[in-house]
């Protein structure tokens, strides 16, 4: 594994922009230049792991939104194991300045809603594209609201690549869910092959564009950047790899939606986040939280990830 220092080409781009990169506008806003730079290095190099150590005045929260941590339980659990997980979450000490959400499988949402502390909000992992009716096996946004869900995860890579949902379908789902008053955790992310071909930004921007073309407002949207090669593989993106995409996402929002949306919208990272790697990831300026799969099934470890918000404050 080669190691490159951040002094390569555009040193200001990796997590140092507020305090150490006064010339951001001439550097990071030229996405075509930076994109080709990162497309070249993304797949082959790991950038130096702690660039901010050299700079004591790093501001580690670029966006203005509250730290957000979601637990995606996927198709896991039984009544019994979920009851134990809820007990652990209820007794966990969670930092107050974090939005915390868990997404149980549909059939356990009611159980969780009735036993979990109100401190933690509930998300679904999917919903139907429109109003309910004769759609066998589907669950509508209205039903999610009815049962007490505040959020829904849409565009998760497992739904894109295993079930075959496309950008347009996902965008329409997001618009409908938002119209029902649900918050949307909008997932984007590239496959390994796409990263290796230097298409990371193209793929993420295309997925973002589909959301942008559908949603009436970004007020209740959290973007989850989840590189597919990192999901469930134990192969987490380095903090710099994640930061580079998060910054590019924010820059895309700024150029294509508005500066206000770019600042307010949380951009969270997902893909093999655990209790050991969350603190390093959280210090990155444009990482506003996490979407956690496997590690969210363990209450104490999920609490550690929620509480990694403290590493943002320490780093600053
Ligand atoms: P993982 O899953 O944490 O198990 O990699 C993340 C996700 O799919 O949201």
Query: Domain of 243: which CATH number?
Result: 3.20.20.70
Quick check: is 36 in a domain? no
Domain membership flag for residue 6: no
Biggest alpha carbon distance in the chain? 60
Mean pLDDT of 38-49: 33
Confidence (pLDDT) at 312: 85
Ligand 1 pocket mutation, candidates 70, 162, 231, 301, criterion most atoms within 8 A of CB: 231
42 an active-site residue? Answer: no
Please check whether residue 168 lies inside any domain of the structure. yes
Domain that holds residue 84: 61-315
Is 70 exceeded by the pLDDT of residue 7? no
Catalytic residue among 42, 52, 121, 156: 156
Residue with the smallest CA separation from ligand 1 atom 6 is 293
The confidence band for 315, taking pLDDT boundaries of 50, 70 and 90, is low
Q: Is residue 23 part of a domain?
A: no
Active site residue 226: yes
Q: What is the pLDDT of residue 64?
A: 85
Q: Which among 77, 158, 291 is the best mutation to test ligand 1's pocket, defined by most ligand atoms within 8 Å of the CB?
A: 291
55-64, 276-285, 292-301: lowest mean pLDDT where?
55-64
**Cβ < 6 A, ligand 1 pocket:** 72, 226, 231-232, 270-273, 291-295
Q: Is residue 11 part of a domain?
A: no
Kindly state the tokens that stand for 302.
């999920």
Residue 67 included in any domain: yes
Average pLDDT over the chain reads 85
Question: Helix (H, G, I), strand (E, B), or coil: what is residue 92?
Answer: coil
Query: What does 146-177 look like in DSSP terms, one character per residue?
Result: HHT--EEEES-HHIIIII---HHHHHHHHHHH
Q: In which band, very low, low, confident or very high, does the pLDDT at 113 lie, cut at 50, 70 and 90?
A: very high
Residue of higher predicted confidence among 2 and 298: 298
The 10s digit of each residue's pLDDT in 115-146 is 999 999 999 999 999 999 999 999 999 999 99
Whole-angstrom Cα distance, residue 109 to residue 99? 18
CA separation for the pair 211, 188 (Å, rounded)? 10
Q: pLDDT at residue 288 above 90?
A: yes
What average pLDDT does the segment 98-103 reach?
98
With 0-12 CB in 10 A as exposed, 13-18 as middle and 19+ as buried, what is 262? buried
- Pick the catalytic residue from 165, 194, 226, 244: 226
Residue 38: pLDDT over 60:
no
272 Cα nearest atom in ligand 1:
5
User: Contact at 8 Å (CB) between 197 and 229?
Assistant: no
Share of the chain above pLDDT 70, in %: 80
> Is residue 107 assigned to a domain?
yes
Residue 121 maps to a domain: yes
User: Residue 48 pLDDT > 60, yes or no?
Assistant: no
- pLDDT value at residue 313: 78
> How many domains are there within the chain?
1
Whole-number Å distance, alpha carbon 296 to ligand 1 midpoint, is 9
Residue 65 burial by Cβ neighbours in a 10 Å radius (0-12, 13-18, 19+): middle
Q: How far is CA 20 from the centre of its chain?
A: 25
Nearest 5 degrees, angle CA 223-CA 173-CA 78? 80
pLDDT given at position 62: 80
């Amino acid at each position: 594994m080669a190691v490159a220092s951040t002094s390569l080409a555009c040193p200001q781009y990796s997590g140092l922009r507020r305090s150490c990169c006064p010339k951001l506008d001439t550097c990071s806003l030229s996405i075509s230049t930076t994109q080709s730079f990162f497309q070249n290095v993304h797949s082959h190099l790991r950038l130096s792991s702690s660039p901010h150590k050299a700079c004591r005045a790093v501001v580690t929260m670029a966006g203005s939104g509250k730290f957000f941590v979601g637990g995606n339980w996927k198709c896991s659990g039984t009544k019994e194991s979920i009851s134990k997980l809820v007990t652990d979450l209820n007794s966990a000490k969670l930092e107050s300045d974090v939005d915390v959400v868990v997404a149980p499988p549909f059939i356990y949402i009611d159980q969780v809603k009735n036993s979990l502390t109100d401190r933690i909000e509930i998300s679904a992992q999917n919903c139907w594209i429109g109003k309910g009716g004769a759609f066998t096996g589907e669950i509508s946004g209205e039903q999610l609201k009815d049962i007490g869900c505040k959020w829904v995860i849409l565009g998760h890579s497992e739904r894109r690549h295993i079930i075959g949902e496309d950008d347009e379908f996902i965008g329409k789902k997001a618009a409908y869910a938002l119209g029902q008053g649900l918050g949307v955790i909008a997932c984007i992310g590239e496959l390994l092959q796409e990263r290796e071909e230097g298409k990371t930004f193209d793929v993420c921007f295309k997925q973002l564009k589909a959301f942008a073309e559908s949603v009436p407002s970004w007020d209740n949207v959290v973007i989850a950047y989840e590189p597919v090669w990192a999901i469930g593989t134990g192969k987490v993106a380095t903090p710099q790899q994640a930061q580079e995409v998060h910054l590019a996402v924010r820059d895309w929002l700024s150029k294509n939606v508005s500066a206000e949306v770019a600042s307010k919208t949380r951009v969270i990272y997902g893909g093999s986040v655990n209790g050991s790697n969350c603190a390093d990831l959280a210090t990155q300026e444009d990482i506003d939280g996490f979407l956690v799969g496997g590690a969210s099934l363990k209450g104490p470890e999920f609490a550690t990830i929620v509480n990694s918000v403290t590493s943002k404050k320490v780093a600053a």
